[in-house]
Amino acid sequence: MRLIGKHNSPEVAKSYDWSRFPVLADIGGGTGGLLVDILEAYPSCRGILFDQPNVVEQATSHERLEPVGGDFFQGVPAGADAYMLRWIIHDWPEAEAVALFVSIRESMKPGARLILLEEIIPDTPKLVAGKWIDLLMLAITGGRERTEKEYSDLLSAAGFELEEVVRTHGSFSILIAKV
């Protein structure tokens, strides 16, 4: 999975105007590959990389990246303009996903956004790779891939409104939500 994420980072970085978020927090961002790609493409941005302490100890060094260790179910750093989660929500069943969204919402300042980078599976009988990943996630983590409506409903359950969906040329879509 790490290689898939690394491969998609440049595509995600150039698929959206991240400059609208002066401070971007990458929640569960690993060692920071995606965040560094965004920071390199948008010099006006600053990043907060948030993951488990033993993970952020290995973070990629960048002058505008602040590594912070912690547990995202217990809380995330406050004050960012956007909170980004890449391929995190598909790991979790609904109750845990909503709990994570609520944890983030409690740290958000007015006007901040929650951004999900996930594969959206079509709400049709058409067979796509995401449906196979859905079965894998269910069997391994209890999580799942979701349709756009299912993401919208999940966000709504945590007090968010799905504002925009940006399709990338890669497998990820960028889902932007507001309170």
Domain boundaries, the chain: 2-178
Q: What are phi and psi of 137, to 5 degrees?
A: -65, -40
Q: Is the pLDDT of residue 81 over 70?
A: yes
pLDDT band for 171, please (50, 70, 90 cuts).
confident
List 26, 51, 81, 90, catalytic entry: 90
Q: For residue 63, is pLDDT > 90?
A: yes
Place of tokens 């960048």: 62
d(CA 125, CA 104): 34
20-29, 58-67, 85-94, 140-149: lowest mean pLDDT where?
140-149
Distance CA 130, CA 28 (A): 21
Q: Which of 118, 148, 150, 163 is catalytic?
A: 118
Q: Coil, helix or strand for 1? A: coil
Please return the burial class of 121, using the count of CB atoms within 10 Å of its CB with bins 0-12, 13-18 and 19+.
buried
Active-site annotation holds for 26: no
Query: Is the model's pLDDT at 122 over the cut of 80?
Result: no
**How far is it, in rounded angstroms, from Cα 130 to Cα 171?**
9
Is residue 37 annotated as part of the catalytic site, yes or no? no
Assess whether 7 carries a catalytic annotation. Answer: no
**In whole angstroms, what is the distance from residue 150 CA to residue 137 CA?**
16
Mean residue pLDDT of the chain comes to 89
Distance between the two ends of the chain, CA-based, in angstroms? 30
Which CATH entry fits the domain spanning 2-178: 1.10.10.10, 3.40.50.150, 3.50.7.10, 1.10.101.10?
3.40.50.150
11 or 19, greater pLDDT? 19
- 8 Å CB contact between 37 and 12: yes
Tell me which of 81, 91, 119, 134 is the catalytic residue.
91
**132: CB partners within 8 A, 6+ apart:** none
Q: In the predicted model, is pLDDT for residue 13 greater than 50?
A: yes
Q: Is residue 163 among the annotated active site residues?
A: no
CA distance 8 to 139: 24
Q: Does position 40 have pLDDT exceeding 60, yes or no?
A: yes
Asked if pLDDT for residue 33 goes beyond 70, the answer is yes
Which is higher by pLDDT, 127 or 160? 160
